[in-house]
A = this chain, B = another copy of it.
């Protein structure tokens, strides 16, 4: 591993078990999963059985819920840094997160419930989620506004007696296609005229089977629909839920969302490192494949092809170090103080992974863009990460502003020096 820090023997042991599970259970199950996925409308009504089998195995091996750091009583007791190391391995297979109950958006929703939910909410939703019995979705993005600015959201949440009534349209509700998805964590506005624009929003728990909810269509990512998980567009038409379903109270939505997104962003980054490493493995294998000789040489004997391996290694290792640093800072000073490190990882990692994937695709020729390798599918999913949870531009601006804040201190320092 990295020479800058040490893993405890316990984590080293779990890492080994996890690696075997991902390499020899999850990855081989990927093709089974695709084969078991149905065609047409049935895609959304049926969960490939192999995933439930993997969950049983993972739980038996103690590979479960790692995402919830030791600062929560419900979690298995790892630091964020330890989870980062494990999560990279999980990221190698798209089945491993669900198999180990560390899949988005459930993880973020579980963190919200663990951190902000009351006991009743925890009992009703957190418990079955922690046990992998149900799944959940997070409904924030809306089709009609610029979602890079979270204050733009418009879904209305109006109190009516003991209930709240929701009206509006959401899209990119990941996981809402899954028949096991039981609850939506919905962000909307309870007080749209509040002059404090970060107090207008609230978050409320909406059972998926509530009347007035219509799944309009799955959003496609490039040509993939990611069924049965799905990224759904959903209409809320006079959807009524008990008033007690509000989380933390009216006007706390923005605050909860921020608490949710920080760790969520970094989890995506951790997994992406694993995906990049797997892509680099395919890349190396292709360059050394004796059947793929061109112009009398292995592909990797052409200097430029070999150099692409170097470039990917350079980019992966730097990006991983950013992710680990952000995780370590979260451990030492909490997620808020690590906002800049998280933003930096959020900007670098998806683009790095796309670069690594694109190079791997290129050396595979037609096979690279097709269903023969998982590279194109990974590329499509990764491309959304430059947009989801705040597009690159928003994070870049935050990083730049944070740097620019140093200007006054620097100016004093330089002026003092100039006087010497």
Q: Which residues of A does B touch, CB under 8 Å? A: 2-5, 23-24, 27-28, 39-40, 81, 141, 143-149, 152, 171-172, 219-225, 280-281, 284-285, 287-288, 291-295, 299-300, 302-307, 309-311, 313-314, 317-319, 321-322, 324-325, 328-329, 331-333, 341, 344, 347-348, 361-362, 365-372, 376-377, 379-380, 383-384, 386-388, 391-393, 396-397, 399-401, 403-404, 406-407, 410-411, 413-414, 416-418, 420
A291: chain B residues at CB < 8 Å are 144-146
Out of B5, B40, B141, name the residue touching A40 (CB < 8 Å).
B40
Contact present for A404 and B317 (CB under 8 Å):
no
Shortest C-beta distance, A3 to chain B (Å), equals 4
A310: chain B residues at CB < 8 Å are 347, 396-397, 399-400, 403
A417: chain B residues at CB < 8 Å are 23-24, 27-28
Contact present for B222 and A222 (CB under 8 Å):
yes
Out of B369, B392, B420, name the residue touching A222 (CB < 8 Å).
B369
Contact present for A2 and B325 (CB under 8 Å):
yes
In the assembly, what is the distance between CA of A344 and CA of B419, in Å?
A: 40
Contact present for B369 and A314 (CB under 8 Å):
no
A28: chain B residues at CB < 8 Å are 417-418, 420
Say how many copies of this protein the assembly contains: 4
Please judge, given known A-B contacts A40-B39, A223-B376, A344-B317, whether A284 and B410 are in contact too, CB under 8 Å. Answer: yes
Please judge, given known A-B contacts A141-B366, A384-B369, A400-B310, whether A303 and B302 are in contact too, CB under 8 Å. Answer: yes
Shortest C-beta distance, A5 to chain B (Å), equals 5
A407: chain B residues at CB < 8 Å are 284-285, 287-288, 300
In the assembly, what is the distance between CA of A39 and CA of B43, in Å?
A: 13
Please judge, given known A-B contacts A310-B396, A365-B146, whether A222 and B223 are in contact too, CB under 8 Å. Answer: yes
Shortest C-beta distance, A70 to chain B (Å), equals 16
In the assembly, what is the distance between CA of A171 and CA of B223, in Å?
A: 20
A321: chain B residues at CB < 8 Å are 318, 321-322, 325
Out of B221, B322, B372, name the residue touching A223 (CB < 8 Å).
B221
Please judge, given known A-B contacts A318-B322, A365-B148, A400-B307, whether A371 and B3 are in contact too, CB under 8 Å. Answer: no
Shortest C-beta distance, A94 to chain B (Å), equals 14
Shortest C-beta distance, A201 to chain B (Å), equals 16
